[in-house]
Amino acid sequence: MSQHLVLSLCKNITLVEEVNTQTATLFSPNYKITFHSIKPGMKKVLYSLIKEGADIKQLHDFLEIDEGILAELKLNVYLQKFSQLGWLYYSVFAENNLIAIAVPLCKNTQFANTQIFTESRYLLSRFAYLHLVDEKIVLESPLSKMQIRLFSWQGIAIINQLATPCTYLDLVSQIPNLSINTAKHFLDLLINTQMISEVSIASNIVEQEDLSLEQWEFHDLLFHTCSRMGRHSKRVGGTYRFLDKIDPLPAIKPKMSDNIIKLFKPDLENLKNTDDSFTKVLEERRSIRKYGENPITVQQLGEFLYRSARVKEIIQTQRGEIMSCPYPSAGSLYELELYPVINQCEDISSGMYHYCPLNHQLSLISENMKTLDALVKTASQSLGEQDIPQVIIIMTARFQRVSWKYESIAYSLVLEHVGVLYQTMYLVATAMKLAPCGIGRGNSDLFSKIAGCNYYSETSVGEFALGSRQ
């Protein structure tokens, strides 16, 4: 049985030997390394890494038939290179049964070779999580560039015990039929992939003492690492993964009721001459949370929506419909929909409406202010309860407009779109001498219930308060 972690190369690497030139080449789909004048020991190392794998001691033993210390130095350099390329797997076995494999998720993985000590206690990172991938339970963490694939109950049992600090001997006494070697090797795998840390004398682990990490919430850091490049090798960007499998959503959401209110359209040519200058609008923009005695009018609401969010053009492409609107949107997809919740607005009754940006009209969804009250209350609380917002514009996303095209970044793009629409609305409201304010939280579950949307197809992703100025 292996005395250490077993090293092997990932399965898509092949070894090709050229007997005539005494070379051997490792090929991955996008890289190759050629070994010139390869000696028998090194050849054995490469074959064992490609096939069943070997622990570090066995690899060094293979090299004894070559030129000793120089070959060993070379081996360390090669192992480092394989690690940098994201080629090196580390496995734990118990009596020849595979327990777990640490698999690199990208290049430049950090398998640190930290030792496990008998006296030391170890604790699971609060960022580590188990989930199902391709019918396997895997342990991942936004702190790690490796994924641990679990093949047997021992791994899960150890992870469970590491919820409180443990030595490896504690694990052996707590988990039936767990050998010292398996416990130690598994901890070895976990510590070198940043899944656990050694507990300090002060009973803390590194991530609890690091002020930056302490202030990251689990879901935020996971979202960050998954939607940015560098800690995974998933495809990122416009990959159109559902092309020819699922039809893309049309650009315009069908009208939500027959109770329609046509909105006022401002004369943009006239506004170009009469509006305050861009610099004046930019410099005077403020979040305003108190409103005038006379509420905003439906004409002002119409002008505001027209200037911020109307559809200027729909363009048919071979990959679905795209649009042009006053604010920018990745891929011109414009997945955001607007639902004004009208609390107080002249010439229009209170309720929740859906804005059709193409026909520039509202369709009534609900006039039941009793149900809408909870949405208004949350918004009002978020604004410090200085006043009740006259209009709350709820922004939703029809998520599949974006996720049909974009991979890894779909939700982060949605939130970026909320940001650009916010700023456009802030500036339009300032130019119109209205009172605008962003709202940082909202109840998406309640919204989808009231609007009758499927939460996973469309729900709220941002809110914006609007009213008349004092």
Ligand X SMILES: Cc1cc2nc3c(=O)[nH]c(=O)nc-3n(C[C@H](O)[C@H](O)[C@H](O)COP(=O)(O)O)c2cc1C
Smallest distance from the beta carbon of 439 to ligand X, in angstroms? 4
254 binds ligand X (CB under 6 A): no
Site stretch for ligand X (CB under 6 A), options 238-246, 315-323, 377-385, 406-414: 377-385
For the CB of residue 382, give the shortest distance to ligand X in the complex, in Å: 4
Is residue 440 within the footprint of ligand X (CB under 6 A)?
Answer: yes
Q: Is 438 in the site for ligand X (CB under 6 A)?
A: yes
289 contacts ligand X (rule: CB under 6 A)? yes
Q: For ligand X, which is the closer residue by CB, 375 or 439?
A: 439
119-154: b or e for each residue (b if 16 or more CB lie within 10 Å)? Answer: ebbbbbbbbbeeeeeeeebbbbbbbbbbbbbbbeeb
Q: Does 281 bind ligand X (CB under 6 A)?
A: no
Separation CA 107–CA 451 (nearest Å): 45
Burial class for 264, CB neighbours closer than 10 Å (0-12, 13-18, 19+)? middle
With CB under 6 A as the contact rule, the residue among 437, 451, 453, 466 that binds ligand X is: 437
- Binding track over 398-427 against ligand X, x by CB under 6 A: ------------------------x-----
Q: How far is the CB of 459 from ligand X (least distance, A)?
A: 17
User: Binder to ligand X among 384, 452, 454, 456 (CB under 6 A)?
Assistant: 384
CB of 441 to ligand X, least distance (A): 6
Residue among 235, 286, 290, 377 that touches ligand X (CB under 6 A)? 286
For residues 141 and 207, the answer to whether their CB atoms sit within 8 Å is no
CB nearer ligand X, residue 11 or residue 219: 219
Cα separation of 146 and 108, whole Å?
Answer: 10
Among 71, 365, 439, 461, binds ligand X (CB under 6 A): 439
Number of residues this chain uses to bind ligand X (CB under 6 A): 11
Contacts of 77 (CB under 8 A, 6+ apart): none
The stretch among 60-68, 197-205, 226-234, 376-384 that binds ligand X (CB under 6 A) is 376-384
Nearer to ligand X (CB atom), residue 148 or residue 439 = 439
| Least distance CB 287 / ligand X (angstroms) | 3
Answer yes or no whether residue 464 interacts with ligand X by CB under 6 A.
no
Long-range contacts of 407-412 (CB under 8 A, 24+ apart): 407/234, 407/235, 407/236, 407/237, 407/238, 407/239, 407/241, 408/226, 408/227, 408/232, 408/234, 408/235, 408/236, 408/237, 409/227, 409/236, 409/237, 411/223, 411/227, 412/223, 412/227
Closer by beta carbon to ligand X, 36 or else 286: 286
Does residue number 266 form part of the binding site for ligand X (CB under 6 A)? no
State in angstroms the smallest separation of the CB of 289 from ligand X: 6
Buried b (16+ CB within 10 A) or exposed e, 333-357: bbbbbbbbbbbbbeebebbbbbbbb
Q: Site residues (CB under 6 A) for ligand X?
A: 286-287, 289, 382-384, 422, 437-440
